Structure 1
Amino acid sequence: MDRPTILITGSGGFLGRAIAEALRDRYRIIGLDVRKQEGAGGDLETIEVDLASRSSVNAALAQAADKAGGRFASVIHLAAYYDTTGEEDPRYDSVTVQGTRRLLHALKRLGTEQFIFASTLLVHAPSPDIGIRITEQSPIDPAWAYPRSKAETEALIGRERDGVRTVILRLAGVYDEDCRATFIAQQIARIFERLPTAYLFTGNLKAGQPYLHKDDLVDAVVRAVDRRADLDEHTVLLIGEEDTPSYEELQKRLGRLIHGEEWRTLSLPKGLTKAGAWVQAEILDQETDIKPWMIEGSDDHYEIDTSRARAVLGWEPRHALTRTLPEMIRRLKQDPTDWYEKNRLEPAAVAASEPELRQAERRLRRLPEEALRDAEATIARDRRQTSWASMVNAILGAWLMLSPLTIGLLDPVAASPPPALGHELDAPRVRNAWLGVSEMASGAMVILVALLGMGARRHWMQWMTAAVGLWVMLAPLVFWTTSAAAYATDTIVGMLIVTFAVIVPPPPGIHPRALASDDDRPLGWSYSPSSFSQRIPIVGMAFVGFFISRYLAAYQLGHIEGVWDPFFGGAEGTGRNGTEAVVTSWVSQGFPVADAGLGAVAYGLDILAGAIGDRRRWRTMPWMVFLFGLLIIPLGAVSVAFIIIQPPLIGALCTLCIVQAAVTVVLIPYSIDEVLASIQYLWRARRAGEPFWQTFWKGGPALSEDQVPQPDLDRSVWDIAREFFGGGMTFPWTLVASVALGALLTATPVVFGTKAPLYFSDHIVGCLVIAVAVVAMAEVARPLRFANAALGAWVAAAPFLLDGGAPEATAAGVVMGLALVGLSLPRGRRSDEHYGGWDRAIV
């Protein structure tokens, strides 16, 4: 005998699948959903449908009727539009209301015994007071868009059912042991993460709403289907738990279950909460799960009387939310990321939570020996395949030993004192001779150490070779060589020695445990901050700074007679342009070596540190990431400080120094995410039982599980460029405008005729504003933008406190200052990237 057919709309959803599973033993199930999918055991036949399209509804029902032999025992209508914004959306009408009308009209032409509509108890007005229960006859007064659409649909069904037996189920919020109830899940997440909002509420803490376990809902639907012939032509039933825990009671229960403590909740006035939510959404441009309609309805209390469901269906709930909470929280603690995914929350927020780290600790204790052996074998294979690098370094050492003879370092030489010299020096021939001796000794050391370390696992020898290479880069500056050839040769050879000593794989000193896994993304991160597509452009920009510094250093050492500056001039009568005046000023002369040369060495180290390691180096070489950050971030601060002091202390401006500072500041936001990832990893690895200093110096194992490494350079150049410009960076118009205002502040003498001391103030603040805004373009550093609000306040006040401003400059200062304050408040657009637990700091 053929089984009766049940048609379920929204069959692919959480409830649709559960209802289909309960009915499929006695009924044939056909599903309608926006996407075709297979049910459990393949028994659920799914037909794609768009309820907003009449033709789609008609075609889907014709197909379903053909499968069912033209008759349905029951149609269970679950599909509807829903969101939590509380705002009106055209889809509430096109999908929920008119979609139901289209469905009903199409069903009238077919044999349909019953039509069950899943509504919500929120179509009712709240209970008049705590202790007063709502019945099916209580007033209909939905408070926001979603229940309003359900109420309109109920009315439509009552008008247009035309003899079809209908059942309206006004459901409470549905949950199961994994939660899946949106507002309960958000409440649990706030307490689990100890967010500030977890301690706050607006409205009546004694108010609450009933809930409904998924299995009890399924039971009610099954009973309604089975008793379809016995029900009235139009039946309305409230389905939910009569026990209504208050918000305060839930807070206390959750606090005890999650953290083992009494959870205190402060009730705020609605006006204050609305103002805070408005500032957060409209001024700070931040997302919030607290919507205006929620604040308005925070006093609403719902208690329901389900006696009619007991009388008509013989139904009553077998579960209770308060009894299910312990299991719900147990599952959360067992696997927070999985729980968050099931509840459509962001799992990155809890990827490094205590339960996840305990899981990581258990995994690390049983790290497979095979993986360690494979890692050791890979290191040995790479060492064999790259043993040629030691031979190359030996050749470079020989080059260094012969270099003094080939470039004439030991020959007599006459030279004027270097332009940037600020202290006494030995004669040029003596300085060059010392450099020659240094090159010979360094070359001999490189040959010795490189050859001795070829067949041995002596990592210190590789680092000793790299240290010699660093000294080779510094030596021409220390000895103030007069030889441009020596300076160029030593810079290049020194960088090559470091490259062949420690950058050519495998980098020395990494523990095999760190290489035993390919996992390349930190816990809770959506990308690897150490990928080559992230680092290569940084290295490219470092080369720009390196070339500029080398050019300026050549002038400071006296290797060239002048430097180029297209915009700025020096003091009258000196014959020097702005750049020449700055790099030979008392500031530069105060350094024991050419300061531009030191900058070139720092940029060279940026290049080398940016190239070493693979896309896992945030955990395999944390110390190198820290060094990389220390080279970039302080170097950026020094470059900005050097620009700041030029007008007030030196009396000139340097075009190339400004370009150099701009490059250095841009490097900071592109590198800061990798530093953050290493800091997070060291902290989390320590909590997972890994020794801190060993992890810092030798790296550590992956804390994540079964990641699939992302593609890196094996993509198109456009994809690589997109990741570089978008990976961890966004460019809100507010920050771009702040950069423009900072540039305008540095130009107030030209634009508004300001003079010192107001001009000096504008120049200093303008440089700081630009630096802050550029660094804040990195999402992990976005809160730094608030510093520009304080700087903007000073800009607005400065014309009244300092001399040097005409009336138009005063007005401009006030406008620019207030604009900076306003531009510094919105966070701006967030990308889809995640940064572990740091997401919540991006305010």
Structure 2
Amino acid sequence: MASKDDKHSTGMGSRGVVRPMDMHQNNSNDHQDHEGGGHEHHKMDHQQRLQMLHMHHQQTLWIYWMLVLLGFWLVLSPLTFSYGIGTVEPSGGREVWLSLSQRITVLKWSDIISGLLLIFFGWRSLTPNRPVSLWICCFIGVWLNIAPVLFWAPTAVAYYNDTLVGALIIALTILIPGMPNMIMYMKMGSKVPSGWSYNPSSWPQRWIMIVLAFAGWIVSRYLGAFQLGYIDQIWDPFFGEGSRLVLNSDMSHSLPVSDGMLGALAYTFEFLMGWMGSPSRWRTMPWMVALFGILVIPLGLVHIFLVISQPVIVGYWCTPCLLAAAIMLPMIPLEFDEVIAMGQHMVQAKRRGDNFWKVFWKGGEPFEHNEDERSPKLMELSKSPGKVIKASIWGMSIPWTLAVSTLLGIWLMFAPAAFGVSIEASAADINHLGGSLIVVVSVISMGEVVRRGRYLNILLGLLVAVVPWFLQDSNFVLNLSSAITGLLVAGLAIPRGPKKESYGLWDKYVK
């Protein structure tokens, strides 16, 4: 028989701010089971929440002392690790907006000032009920991740010191203890969105996002390390010098910062935000889900488009760049369902008459009270990996039509090389770009909430089938291949494929 702790486990464990609130909810549920009372009877008043806040602050006091100590670490870092010894210049002779001496000076003062501010606001955070001080500490951590990218950190030590300390500060301020003062307004209630067959914010659903974000961070950091000059070679097993030429191309140099390190920065925030909030964050933290969605979906699409345009704009492929895009691609459909669930809750709250912005920033009252009985505990991963991995991709299904379309898109990308057509030919550009976009649309449309996106493949397939015939430098064999492949893709986009889950108000849009 399961123990009481097992019964109320959320799988990943309830960290920080969620822990005392979960304890209250669990006690309320036990009381309700015995006496049949409703949830309204167990709402906490302001004084009870304040007492719980002080108790939670006592339990996590070590965190705020750590913030102070990290402040001293930052202040002393420029003295301990000289930013002027072992300096490097960006690869490819790239000119940056600051001279070497300015880069050294600015980064030194950035660390010193950030450290002093962290000492001050970390000290203030030792007293409970000071959320503003904690948020300022969090933003200092965000800045420390941005500064070495913005100022082109002249040494690897400066870059890694700032980014790792910055990530640690973010974890200490809003991940381990939970959102500052969330105890004062968090509404307990449903874990699963109304009408949904699963919880898109469960730990198995977020686990796969965290893993993908970490993998993307490793690859992007490698690309950025080459661009900033920390390593002098980039390894490419398939395209040889292609990666170096892409990373030092005019397209890459047109940006004011390293696009590789910019990708690493985005993946850092995605990785950290994967840990934020409870399994009901679609309801309790709409602002965070919206921000996470912006990082993953529109910015992810921009990242992917820039990568797949490389053979058209630059004339070369880059294997690590393609790997980074391949890591980002499945994150988009995997995140869409959580954003849809959050949007459904916002719509329902607005219809009920709740204040939109209050619900957006502080969460809303539940529309029903339920528990997530379906999602497996993440601790089962080592014993039952298949069960947890399957739960990680609820909301995605792979119709054979989309699977075949993905393979056809990959074929289009490699067809010019297979038929000996120069990468500089216009017909090759159509195949490279069209094939890449077909792959992107097919994979994203495997997310059931965005299954309608497959209709874009009709347009892409027809363009790939028709346009090459009107180009002067076209190749008959390649054109015939494009025509057959494009028409197949267009036809395969018509069937919807299976729908395995339920999505509440969004069900009517899954067609």
Aligned AA for 2:330?
V
How much has 1:835 moved relative to structure 2? 0.6
Q: Structure 1 residues 375 and 713, CA, compared in 2 at 3 Å: closer, same or farther?
A: farther
More strand by share: 1
The within-5 A match list for 1:363-374 is 368=40, 370-373=42-45
Q: Does 1:747 align with 2:414?
A: yes
SS at match of 1:515: coil
Q: d(CA) in 2 for partners of 1:559 and 1:834?
A: 49
Q: Structure 1 residues 747 and 593, CA, compared in 2 at 3 Å: closer, same or farther?
A: same
From 61, 77, 80, the equivalent of 1:387 is 61
Q: Does 1:520 align with 2:187?
A: no
Match of 2:114 in 1: 442
Match of 2:324 in 1: 660
From 51, 58, 71, the equivalent of 1:397 is 71
Aligned AA for 1:583?
L
Q: Does 1:721 align with 2:389?
A: yes
Q: d(CA) in 2 for partners of 1:553 and 1:770?
A: 26
Q: Which runs of 5+ in 2 are unaligned?
A: 1-37
Match of 1:475 in 2: 147
Asked if the contact 2:53–2:181 (Cα under 8 Å) also holds between the matched residues in 1, the reply is: no
Aligned AA for 2:305?
A
Alignment coverage as a number of residue pairs:
466
From 215, 219, 222, the equivalent of 1:548 is 219
Q: Structure 1 residues 396 and 420, CA, compared in 2 at 3 Å: closer, same or farther?
A: farther
1:278-336 C-alpha deviation (Å, 9 max, x unpaired): xxxxxxxxxxxxxxxxxxxxxxxxxxxxxxxxxxxxxxxxxxxxxxxxxxxxxxxxxxx
Q: Does 1:581 align with 2:245?
A: yes
Match of 2:164 in 1: 492
Q: d(CA) in 1 for partners of 2:490 and 2:210?
A: 34
How much has 1:814 moved relative to structure 2? 1.5
How much has 1:433 moved relative to structure 2? 2.3
Q: Structure 1 residues 377 and 533, CA, compared in 2 at 3 Å: closer, same or farther?
A: farther
SS at match of 1:368: helix
Q: Which structure's CA Rg is the greater one? A: 1
Which piece of structure 1 moves more, 699-708 or 769-778? Answer: 699-708
SS at match of 1:747: helix
How much has 1:556 moved relative to structure 2? 0.9
Q: Structure 1 residues 416 and 524, CA, compared in 2 at 3 Å: closer, same or farther?
A: closer
The within-5 A match list for 1:670-685 is 670-685=334-349
Match of 2:467 in 1: 798
Q: Does 1:620 align with 2:284?
A: yes
The within-5 A match list for 1:139-288 is none
Q: Structure 1 residues 451 and 717, CA, compared in 2 at 3 Å: closer, same or farther?
A: farther
How much has 1:546 moved relative to structure 2? 0.5
Match of 1:735 in 2: 402
Aligned AA for 1:825?
I
The within-5 A match list for 1:564-575 is 564-569=235-240
Q: d(CA) in 2 for partners of 1:513 and 1:416?
A: 50
Q: d(CA) in 1 for partners of 2:462 and 2:131?
A: 54
Q: Structure 1 residues 645 and 422, CA, compared in 2 at 3 Å: closer, same or farther?
A: farther
Match of 2:19 in 1: none
Match of 1:605 in 2: 269
Aligned AA for 2:139?
A
Match of 1:75 in 2: none
Asked if the contact 1:382–1:506 (Cα under 8 Å) also holds between the matched residues in 2, the reply is: no
Asked if the contact 2:191–2:370 (Cα under 8 Å) also holds between the matched residues in 1, the reply is: no
Q: d(CA) in 2 for partners of 1:534 and 1:431?
A: 41
Q: d(CA) in 1 for partners of 2:215 and 2:93?
A: 22
1:101-155 C-alpha deviation (Å, 9 max, x unpaired): xxxxxxxxxxxxxxxxxxxxxxxxxxxxxxxxxxxxxxxxxxxxxxxxxxxxxxx
Aligned AA for 2:127?
G
From 293, 314, 330, the equivalent of 1:650 is 314
Q: Which runs of 5+ in 1 are unaligned?
A: 1-365, 570-576
Q: Does 1:768 align with 2:432?
A: no
Match of 1:529 in 2: 200
Asked if the contact 1:734–1:823 (Cα under 8 Å) also holds between the matched residues in 2, the reply is: yes
1:27-83 C-alpha deviation (Å, 9 max, x unpaired): xxxxxxxxxxxxxxxxxxxxxxxxxxxxxxxxxxxxxxxxxxxxxxxxxxxxxxxxx
Identity score, percent: 37
How much has 1:505 moved relative to structure 2? 2.9
Q: Structure 1 residues 607 and 504, CA, compared in 2 at 3 Å: closer, same or farther?
A: same
Asked if the contact 1:435–1:476 (Cα under 8 Å) also holds between the matched residues in 2, the reply is: yes
Q: d(CA) in 2 for partners of 1:592 and 1:750?
A: 34
SS at match of 1:525: coil
Match of 2:9 in 1: none
Aligned AA for 1:400?
L
From 229, 251, 256, the equivalent of 1:592 is 256
Match of 1:421 in 2: 94
Asked if the contact 1:375–1:516 (Cα under 8 Å) also holds between the matched residues in 2, the reply is: no
Q: d(CA) in 2 for partners of 1:821 and 1:627?
A: 34
Q: Over the residues paired in the alignment, what is the CA RMSD in angstroms?
A: 2.0
1:498-521 C-alpha deviation (Å, 9 max, x unpaired): 11011113312536554332x101
Match of 1:432 in 2: 104
Match of 1:702 in 2: 366
The within-5 A match list for 1:313-332 is none
Asked if the contact 1:742–1:767 (Cα under 8 Å) also holds between the matched residues in 2, the reply is: yes
1:563-620 C-alpha deviation (Å, 9 max, x unpaired): 1111114xxxxxxx11111111112212222121111111000011111001010011
How much has 1:484 moved relative to structure 2? 0.6
Q: d(CA) in 2 for partners of 1:603 and 1:414?
A: 26
Q: d(CA) in 1 for partners of 2:396 and 2:50?
A: 37
How much has 1:706 moved relative to structure 2? 4.5
Q: d(CA) in 1 for partners of 2:372 and 2:87?
A: 63
Q: Structure 1 residues 379 and 675, CA, compared in 2 at 3 Å: closer, same or farther?
A: farther
Match of 2:18 in 1: none
Compute the TM-score of the two structures, normalised by the length of structure 1.
0.53
Compute the TM-score of the two structures, normalised by the length of structure 2.
0.87
How much has 1:371 moved relative to structure 2? 2.0
SS at match of 2:316: coil
Match of 2:17 in 1: none
SS at match of 2:297: helix
Match of 1:298 in 2: none
Q: d(CA) in 1 for partners of 2:325 and 2:335?
A: 16
